[in-house]
Each structure stands twice: as structure tokens, then as C-alpha cells.
């Protein structure tokens, strides 16, 4: 099955063509980072307007790159997408949530329009489930060796721990009560005057600090109490809070302003250790309690070099197969959307009547 996928839930406009769940025929991503940089965060109206400008070109490029036999094909030479290319696509998939409403609406409407015009089925994809699928792209795993799987989605908007007993079955077991891990890093970088997005900048600066010094500044571990009002049915020991960590950083910097680049790097390394450590502690607990065959970690923060090292150590110790996405598939992309849809995931049926769902939970297909 070949699927054209479209993604526009936040600040990336993306389209991709994927065959049978894992074979990426094309993946085109337009990142809006430079548009939002001056504001230190995503500005929803700028995001949706940019999606509108870029979406048709991005979709067109994804289809041409997927099916053209010429790797150097000049897009400008192909004014019309050849009907033979369209004919090979079996279905159209789009992200319908979660994300920014004004961003989601652009990609989801484009997917609807293409489905109507082409008469092909429309598959609605949950962005968080797609992040978990991203680890499968380009890899030929035997599915029988992957489940039960522990899934972790860690990005600028989400930090969720998910139990997956079988493909396309998702039970949320832990999550952040406030900021996402990526958001905690981005806000810290802003506070330290480093720039946007903060995650990669903090990651880079932290690498210069030796492992033995990364706990010198004692940041809180983000544990929550058993009766936390937002934990609901989740296991509180698998949940975390990052807002206290941010406050602790603010106070630390106020009382002890870093005097040199090395001191700033040290603050970054200790803060990153706390953010990443809180997550890895929860994952370790979840792995201990259950018999998982694999751990799948997706989302922009899964690019973090320290997180990757700690996860490798944990999985080696726990005898669990670690699945991480290729760097190009960690952040928002459409290959994960087309991939999940062409692997049998997503919502089918009367999807043309489906609205975008900004607060969609990970367990809703």
C-alpha cells in the first residue's frame, strides 16, 4: 500500500510518500523555525499563514520525488504532476490532531481536498501515534519481536509514556503534569539568552561538561505526589512535573548569574541532566514493572544526545530492544504520518466529516 501523508500540526509543513509502513519514497519538510525565531516561540497566526503558502508546493514535491526515476528531476520542469504518479497512490493520510488548531486545519483540509479530487480514501492520523511509528521508518523489524512495546513521545508539546500491547493499541500510563520536556528546554534556553529552539542549543553546550559534573547544581527531579489532581488514573510514579525545575533555574540564575561561557554550559548540562534524568527514571520504572520487548522513543527531544546515551545504557541493562528514529524522522515530518497509515493505523471511514482535534489524546485512534 502506498500512502501520501500530510503534516502541519505545528511549525513544519510536510508531505511524504511511504510504501507498506516503512519504505520512505519521499519526505519533504519545510521548517518555519526562522520565521518564529525573532519571537522566541511559535506564533500561531504566522504558522498557519506559512502553511497555506507552502503546502501545495511541498505536496507536489513529495509526489514528484517519490515517483520520478530521475533523482535530479527539476521540479519547475514538471508543471503538472503526471497522472501515472497519482495512479500509484492508494490513500491520502493527514494529521487531524493534536496540535495548533490553526495549523492543523491547513494540512487536514489539504488532505481532504486531495482525497475528494482523486476519489482515494482519506485516513486521519493521530500525530502522537505517528511519532511512535517514526522509529519503524527505513527499518525492517520483525513485528513479532517488538510487542509488548513501551512507547515514549517526547517533544515540544508532549512527554507521554504509553503501553502498547499490540500494534495500534495505545494506553497512556504516565505523562508530564505541566510543561513538556522540549518546552522545559526551550524555556530554559530563553531564560539563559541562548536562542530558539533551545533543545539543540542546550544539548550542544552540555557536551563540553564532564559527566561527573552534571549533577553539581541540584535541580529537582520533578516527582509528583500520589494524589496530584491532574494524574487521574495514571500511575503517579510514571508522571512528572517540569514547572518546578524551570522555577529552580530562574532562582539559581538570579542568585548565581553565570559569569562565563563555561559556567553557562555547566548550568545547561545540569538542567538538561535533570530534564532527561526525570524522564529516564520514569521509563526505567515502567520497564521494570512490565515485560516489554522493545522501547520506542519518538519526537524532537529524542534527538538529544544525552537522552540517547542514557536510553542505550538502560535498554542494555533491561535487555529491551531500543528503537530510535533516524534524525530526519525525529522532529515533525510526514513520513511518520504516511508510514502509520500504510501500516494499517489511523482512523478510516467517514473521515471527510472529521474536524481537527487540537487536544487529541494519544490513545484515541
Binding-site ranges for ligand KG4 (CB under 6 A):
10, 155-157, 182, 185-186, 197-200, 203, 299-301, 303-304, 331-332
333 binds, among ligand KG4, Zn ion, none (CB under 5 to 8 A by kind): none
Name the residue with cell 532527561: 276
Shortest approach of ligand KG4 to residue 275 CB, angstroms?
8
Which one of 13-21, 73-81, 141-149, 154-162 is the stretch in contact with Zn ion (CB under 5 A)? Answer: 154-162
Name the residue with cell 548540562: 269
Rank residues 281 and 332 by Cβ distance to Zn ion and give the closer one: 332
Q: How far apart are CA 11 and CA 32, in angstroms?
A: 5
Rank residues 199 and 345 by Cβ distance to ligand KG4 and give the closer one: 199
Q: Which of 35, 283, 300, 264 is nearest to 186 (CA)?
A: 300
Shortest approach of ligand KG4 to residue 85 CB, angstroms?
28
**3-state SS of the chain: helix, strand, coil percent to 5?**
45, 20, 35
The DSSP output letter for 98 is S
Shortest approach of Zn ion to residue 247 CB, angstroms?
26
Shortest approach of Zn ion to residue 147 CB, angstroms?
23
Whether omega for the bond prior to residue 318 falls within 30 degrees of 0, making it cis, is: no
Which residues, 6 or more positions from 195, have their beta carbon under 8 angstroms from its beta carbon? 37, 189, 201
185 binds, among ligand KG4, Zn ion, none (CB under 5 to 8 A by kind): ligand KG4
Lookup: cell for 116: 475528494
Q: Which of 16, 155, 333, 342 binds Zn ion (CB under 5 A)?
A: 155
Whether omega for the bond prior to residue 22 falls within 30 degrees of 0, making it cis, is: no
Which residues, 6 or more positions from 220, have their beta carbon under 8 angstroms from its beta carbon? 244, 245, 248, 274
Rank residues 62 and 153 by Cβ distance to ligand KG4 and give the closer one: 153
Shortest approach of ligand KG4 to residue 70 CB, angstroms?
31
Which one of 89-97, 148-156, 259-267, 333-341 is the stretch in contact with Zn ion (CB under 5 A)? Answer: 148-156
Rank residues 199 and 222 by Cβ distance to ligand KG4 and give the closer one: 199
Shortest approach of Zn ion to residue 7 CB, angstroms?
8
Shortest approach of ligand KG4 to residue 338 CB, angstroms?
17
Shortest approach of ligand KG4 to residue 297 CB, angstroms?
12
Lookup: cell for 357: 482535534
Q: How far apart are CA 158 and CA 128, in angstroms?
A: 8
Rank residues 93 and 268 by Cβ distance to Zn ion and give the closer one: 93
174 binds, among ligand KG4, Zn ion, none (CB under 5 to 8 A by kind): none
Q: Are 6 and 111 in contact (CB under 8 A)?
A: yes
Q: How far apart are CA 195 and CA 180, in angstroms?
A: 18
Rank residues 64 and 300 by Cβ distance to Zn ion and give the closer one: 300
**Taking CB under 5 A as the criterion, which residues in 305-364 touch Zn ion?**
332
- For the four alpha carbons of 301, 198, 59 and 107, in that order, the dihedral sign comes to positive
Rank residues 98 and 345 by Cβ distance to ligand KG4 and give the closer one: 98
Which one of 152-160, 191-199, 308-316, 317-325 is the stretch in contact with Zn ion (CB under 5 A)? Answer: 152-160
Residues in the chain: 365
Q: Please give the backbone phi and psi of residue 20, each rounded to the nearest 5 degrees, phi first.
A: 50, 45
21 binds, among ligand KG4, Zn ion, none (CB under 5 to 8 A by kind): none
Which residues, 6 or more positions from 197, have their beta carbon under 8 angstroms from its beta carbon? 33, 156, 182, 186, 189
Shortest approach of ligand KG4 to residue 311 CB, angstroms?
13
Rank residues 110 and 188 by Cβ distance to ligand KG4 and give the closer one: 188
Rank residues 66 and 268 by Cβ distance to ligand KG4 and give the closer one: 268
Q: How far apart are CA 271 and CA 203, in angstroms?
A: 10
Q: How far apart are CA 159 and CA 114, in angstroms?
A: 32
304 binds, among ligand KG4, Zn ion, none (CB under 5 to 8 A by kind): ligand KG4
Q: Which residues bind Zn ion (CB under 5 A)?
A: 155, 332
Amino acid at each position: 500500500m502506498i500512502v501520501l501523508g500530510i503534516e502541519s500540526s505545528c511549525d513544519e509543513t510536510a508531505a511524504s510518500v511511504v510504501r507498506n509502513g516503512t519504505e520512505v519514497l519521499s519526505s519533504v519538510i519545510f521548517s518555519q523555525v526562522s520565521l518564529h525565531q525573532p519571537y522566541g516561540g511559535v506564533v500561531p497566526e504566522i504558522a498557519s499563514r506559512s502553511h497555506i503558502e507552502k503546502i501545495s508546493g511541498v505536496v507536489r514535491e513529495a509526489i514528484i520525488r517519490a515517483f520520478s526515476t530521475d533523482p535530479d528531476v527539476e521540479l519547475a520542469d514538471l508543471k503538472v504532476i503526471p497522472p501515472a504518479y497519482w495512479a500509484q497512490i492508494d490513500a491520502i493520510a493527514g494529521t487531524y490532531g493534536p496540535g495548533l488548531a490553526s495549523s492543523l486545519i491547513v494540512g487536514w483540509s489539504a488532505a481532504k481536498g486531495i482525497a475528494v479530487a482523486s476519489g482515494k480514501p482519506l485516513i486521519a492520523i493521530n500525530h502522537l501515534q505517528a511519532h511512535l511509528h517514526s522509529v519503524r521508518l527505513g527499518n525492517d523489524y520483525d513485528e513479532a519481536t517488538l510487542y509488548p512495546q513501551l512507547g515514549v513521545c517526547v517533544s515540544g508539546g508532549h512527554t507521554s509514556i504509553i503501553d502498547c500491547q499490540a500494534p495500534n493499541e495505545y494506553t497512556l500510563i504516565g505523562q508530564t503534569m505541566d510543561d513538556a520536556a522540549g518546552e522545559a528546554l526551550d524555556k530554559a534556553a530563553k531564560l539563559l539568552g541562548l536562542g530558539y529552539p533551545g533543545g539543540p542549543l542546550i544539548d550542544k553546550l552540555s557536551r563540553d561538561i564532564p559527566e561527573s559534573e552534571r549533577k553539581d547544581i541540584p535541580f529537582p527531579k520533578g516527582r509528583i505526589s500520589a494524589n496530584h489532581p491532574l494524574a487521574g488514573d495514571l500511575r503517579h510514579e510514571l508522571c512528572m512535573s517540569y514547572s518546578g525545575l524551570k522555577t529552580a533555574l530562574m532562582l539559581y540564575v538570579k542568585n548565581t548569574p553565570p559569569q562565563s561561557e563555561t559556567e553557562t554550559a555547566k548550568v545547561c548540562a545540569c538542567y538538561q541532566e535533570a530534564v532527561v534524568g526525570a524522564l529516564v527514571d520514569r521509563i526505567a520504572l515502567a520497564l521494570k514493572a512490565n515485560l516489554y520487548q522493545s522501547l520506542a522513543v519518538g519526537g524532537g527531544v529524542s534527538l538529544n544526545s544525552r537522552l540517547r546515551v542514557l536510553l542505550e545504557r538502560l535498554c542494555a541493562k533491561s535487555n529491551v530492544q531500543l528503537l530510535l528514529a533516524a534524525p530526519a524522522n525525529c522532529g515533525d515530518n510526514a513520513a511518520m504520518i504516511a508510514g502509520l497509515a500504510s501500516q494499517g493505523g489511523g482512523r478510516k471511514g467517514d473521515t471527510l466529516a472529521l474536524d481537527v482535534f487540537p487536544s487529541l489524546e494519544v490513545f484515541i485512534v
